[in-house]
Amino acid sequence: MLLLFLLGALVPVAAGQNTTVSYDYSEQPPTVDELMQWHEVFTYKVRYSFFKLGEVKVEVVSDTLYNGKKSWHLKSIITSNSGIPFVGREENHYNSIFAIVGNMIRVQEYWTDNVDEEEYRDSEYIFDRKVQKVYAYEKDQPRDTLALEEPASSGHSVFYRSRLTAGTDSVVKVPIYLNHEKKYMTLANTTETDMREYDAFPKEVKTYFTKGDTNIKGPFGFSGEFEAWYLADDLRVPVEARVKVWLGNVKIKLIDYKKERRND
């Protein structure tokens, strides 16, 4: 989700069709328009100690129309390792429809699908900026209406929003709407760099570090302080996060990254 969900010269990395592309090191983070020029697919491995808990796949799957305006569909798929005792096979989808206004990501709708239990749109949040309200729907619960505070999110879109400030000395506070509540996620970005290794890249890459904190109750008990690293390139590719869940501290690392320039 960063879940979270996040080079001296040129850094070669794996891309689509088993080709190789290069990224320029950049001190400036990207704009939203620059991010949306690329169709990116991220795959992360989630580990607790020596155990693989599952995988996370993140992708802006397509552009779309929402209330007659061009928008984008961001989708994350979390699958658990079926060999984990007392957990078994779990598959959950997280979806956001967002529009771009200036250099801001404005979430318009968010919903979840519990695929393994065949429960679709088991939660849904509608962001109505005409009346500055958020309408919250959860399975077997009455609808709630909450006051909208910008930059409003349901957590999922932070994966893209955080890239806009990674690698800068800045603190960003994002209102998060989940579980019929408004909570907050704080991202303390830094210009601190580190060389790190990931399966997605053939050699060490230079990264920027971000420290975060949140009081939301996210997927698998995610809450509290967390750490994140972003590739120090012109797109600020999210490469790693360390978060607290119900099992304890887990590591989320990028194992595959593909990108192709969009035609639209």
Torsion angles phi and psi, residue 243, rounded to 5: -135, 165
> 101, 71 in Cβ contact below 8 A?
no
Say which residue, 1 or 195, is predicted with more confidence. Answer: 195
**Contact (Cβ atoms closer than 8 angstroms) between residue 150 and residue 161:** no
What sign does the CA torsion over 157, 252, 8, 60 have?
A: negative
- Three-state secondary structure call for residue 15: coil
- pLDDT digit string, tens, across residues 88-105: 678 999 999 999 998 899
| pLDDT, position 186 | 92
> How far apart are the C-alpha atoms of 23 and 232, rounded to whole Å?
9
Strands 119-128 and 133-138, bridge-based pairing: antiparallel
Half-sphere exposure of residue 125, counting CA atoms within 13 Å on the CB side?
A: 29
For the cut 50, the answer to whether the pLDDT of residue 1 exceeds it is no
Residue 160 CA to residue 156 CA, distance in Å, equals: 9
Tell me which of 5-19, 62-76, 107-121, 178-192 is least confident. Answer: 5-19
